[in-house]
Amino acid sequence: MEKVKVGDELTIHCYKHNGKFHRSWEEALVLYIDEEKIIVGNNKTKVTESDGRTHKAKEPAIVILYKNSWFNVFGQLKKKGLFYKCNIASPYIIDEGAIKFIDYDLDLKVFPDGGFKVLDRNEYKYHKKIMGYSDDLDKVLTTELTNLINLKRKEEGPFLKGLIEEYYEKYKLLR
């Protein structure tokens, strides 16, 4: 395993269950790392889609990825406030300078007013069928979605008040 430390610059690579490339983010500046999670930041980074198209993210983001939880969280610092885009996804690995994970379609979007919405249930059902997600995997993923919603309701973990802003300040200092 690669030894990664605060200040290192990585990229983020997202795949689908069938191993196909889905999306990448060019910048992932390491802000924190321990045995459980890595926190990285970027600002208007280049995003590459599976079809090769690229675009720039419109805002800074703080990204929290976990080694033992099946989700990750992108805190997006938009003009209208802090939005969270939470992906139900495999635990991450670091390989050849990239943080890698498998995206499992289900997303939780959290709005600045605290409201939230589960997205992409139909995409999840479709991919579960065509990519052959096992019943055991399905149970893990749906349980983790429930766990993520509970963390949001309690404002714990990645939803702790001020956490994203604190790491954005650290990002600006390191950048």
Residues tagged active-site: 23
Q: Token pair of 94, please? A: 């670091």
CA distance 15 to 8: 22
CA distance 27 to 9: 7
Q: Token pair of 118, please? A: 């589960």
Start-to-end CA distance of the chain, whole Å, equals 25
| Coil, strand or helix at 65 | strand
CA distance 75 to 62: 5
